[in-house]
Structure 1
Amino acid sequence: MTIKRLLITLIILLNFSTICLSQVVIGKNTIGASVLLDFAENTTNGLVLPHINDIHLITDATVGTVVFDKITKKAHYYDGVQWIAINKEEGTLPLIAAEKEQGGDQGVIIGSEESTAKGVLILESSDKAMVLPKIYDPAKNVPSPYPGMICYDTRGKHVYIFNGLRWEIVG
């Protein structure tokens, strides 16, 4: 790694460490007191879950971990004992594979200086929550949804997940 790349990486990490201990908004300017992570209203971009080759190979999952399993082609969450499918129907995988994650098993932590959880993005708080991206009628308004995309439909008042073939109501 060149000195220039190293310096840029360090500057980004130092600036991001300030953000990691605070509340975060994406695409808007204000955030509610009880929210750790919030997204802009009326967007067409949902939250895409990590795609895992085989969830049964994850031996140290944290309770509440949510992923998209490439084998079952379904989103799952870990309840502390087993993986529970979130969507009912099997979906499909994207035609172009996402770039492989680089680095260790501890991702970016928001809301705390440290966490025992493992993941790409870890929201750690005892009194704040994450608000899903709000999309009006995602089946109609998201032009190219990605398998594992999850959002709140402001039209139907439901949480939806895209399984790679169609949008499903969660729950």
Structure 2
Amino acid sequence: MNNILSISGLLFSCSLFAQVAIGKTSVTNPSVSLEFAAGNRGLILPWITSTPAATGAVNGTVAYDLTDHKVKVKYAAAWKDLSVDTTGTTVDPLTGVDGITIQNSSTEKSTAKTAIGTNSITPGILVLEDTNKAMILPKTANPHLTIINPAPGMIVYDTTSKTLAVFNGKVWSFWKS
């Protein structure tokens, strides 16, 4: 019941305000649409059955591709692999349960969408519509050491190495600009 109330509150607040804080009381940067609290958690990206199946994906779309178990970003009309050529997995190392079986048993609601900012027709599950604001990823020091059971498709900002860290189900890849 608390989860339902929390989600309802988040969706309601998203429709009223152009800025959302998750895991903290307020957004601390006026240039931010979505801001996460610091800690040992990450943002889990949506799982897609293949990049060609992501019809209508626009540049900047980030997803976990189940065909090759890699984190990818749509960039310049193509998909860029962020997993550094290492094939991942969706099998939880602690339980041995394959996350795909859990996902496949669930019914997807194709109209499900949350937009922060001006709502438009841009496809996606969570769309940040602001043209003058950005999302701050969850921040974690040494995610490869501190996040005990990361999920495939997890993405965080590593505050120690100052890099973007993505987990493909087997290994972390780190990207520095």
- Pairwise CA distance, 1:48: 0.5
1:169 is aligned to 174
- Check the 8 A contact 1:39/1:134 in 2, yes or no: yes
Percent identity over the alignment is: 33
Give the distance between the partners of 2:107 and 2:116, measured in 1 at CA.
19
- Pairwise CA distance, 1:162: 0.7
* 1:29 paired to 2:25: yes
What is the RMSD computed on CA atoms of the aligned residues?
2.1
Q: Secondary structure at the match of 1:62?
A: coil
Please report the TM-score for the alignment, with normalisation by the length of structure 1: 0.83
Give the distance between the partners of 1:17 and 1:81, measured in 2 at CA.
33
Counterpart residue identity of residue 104, structure 1: S
Counterpart residue identity of residue 65, structure 1: T
Give the distance between the partners of 1:58 and 1:105, measured in 2 at CA.
14
- Pairwise CA distance, 1:160: 0.4
1:122 is aligned to 127
Map residues 11-160 of structure 1 onto 2, 5 A cutoff: 12=8, 16-20=11-15, 21-31=17-27, 32-41=29-38, 43-88=39-84, 89-94=86-91, 95-97=98-100, 98-99=102-103, 100=106, 102-112=108-118, 114-160=119-165
Q: Secondary structure at the match of 1:168?
A: strand
Counterpart residue identity of residue 122, structure 2: A
- Check the 8 A contact 1:62/1:80 in 2, yes or no: no
Gaps of 5+ in 1: 1-7
- Check the 8 A contact 1:158/1:170 in 2, yes or no: yes
Give the distance between the partners of 2:89 and 2:54, measured in 1 at CA.
21
Please report the TM-score for the alignment, with normalisation by the length of structure 2: 0.81
Give the distance between the partners of 2:64 and 2:122, measured in 1 at CA.
18
> Number of residue pairs matched?
159
Counterpart residue identity of residue 11, structure 2: F
Deviation readout 1:16-59 (Å, 9 max, x if unpaired): 34433320001112321101100111x11100011111111223
- Check the 8 A contact 2:48/2:54 in 1, yes or no: no
Counterpart residue identity of residue 99, structure 2: I
Residue range with higher mean Cα deviation, 101-110 or 71-80: 101-110
Give the distance between the partners of 1:101 and 1:77, measured in 2 at CA.
25
Query: 1:62 and 1:169, CA in 2 relative to 1: closer, same or farther beyond 3 A?
Result: same
Deviation readout 1:105-159 (Å, 9 max, x if unpaired): 45111111x2221111111101110000001111111010001100011111111
Kindly name which structure, 1 or 2, has the bigger radius of gyration based on alpha carbons: 1
Residue range with higher mean Cα deviation, 98-107 or 147-156: 98-107
- Pairwise CA distance, 1:87: 1.8
